Amino acid sequence: MKMPVSLISVFLIFPGLSCSVSHSVRWPGSPLPHFSARIVYVHDGDTVTVAPDPAEFDRTGPEDLPWKPTNHVRLLFIDCMETARNARLVRLISREEQKGHVVSAAKLLAMGEKAGKRVSSLLPPGTLVELEFQGPDHSDMYGRWLAGIFLGPTNLAHLLVSEGLAVVYEGPSRKTEASEWYLRALRECRQNDAVPVPGGQ
């Protein structure tokens, strides 16, 4: 959950914003690698553990992604606040304080917990979701799968951004036509709030 420091003001100044658009946001081009999986555990607002169906994985999953009985999934294109006072949160607060900003760790943690609770309410254990992968990077340096998550027609990333529980995050993955399309859709959702968000994307 790597949080770009310049985006912290999105959470601090404009929490809980909501754009009045549909969350059925999906790449309209050629189908991307995808397969269904069951939710095992929600770690926080942007990371879950899933159990994929091996047969469907073999049919429609990315060719270079090894199947595992369970795997962490990092939600593409967004970032949620931390849920524990870890080293990353301490560094984030320290950098903001060096800029002369007053940052409350308790407030930031509460925002992260709110995002985690929202996702947990949407995706209790056993929930069937669809994972959609972008090429060519299907996993990160920690071994987590990088994917979009759909609950029926609902794009989870789009929903979280619209509710002010996540910010748009491009990440280190190499860009594709589909990923650029998704990033534009998320930025437009934020813009539809009609409120300027300092440092946001």
pLDDT the model gives residue 191: 58
How many independent structural domains does the chain possess? 1
pLDDT the model gives residue 7: 47
Domain interval for residue 10: 5-25+34-188
The answer to whether residue 196 is domain-embedded is no
The answer to whether residue 137 is domain-embedded is yes
pLDDT the model gives residue 177: 92
The answer to whether residue 15 is domain-embedded is yes
The answer to whether residue 195 is domain-embedded is no
d(CA 182, CA 135): 13
pLDDT the model gives residue 1: 53
Residue 78: which CATH number?
Answer: 2.40.50.90
Give me the helix-helix angle, 87-98 and 105-122, nearest 10°. Answer: 130
- Kindly report the pTM of this predicted structure: 0.80
User: Using an 8 Å Cβ cutoff, are 140 and 74 in contact?
Assistant: yes
The answer to whether residue 200 is domain-embedded is no
Residues of the chain short of pLDDT 70, as ranges, are 1-21, 172, 191-201
d(CA 136, CA 173): 8
pLDDT the model gives residue 192: 56
User: Using an 8 Å Cβ cutoff, are 160 and 118 in contact?
Assistant: yes
The answer to whether residue 193 is domain-embedded is no
The answer to whether residue 48 is domain-embedded is yes
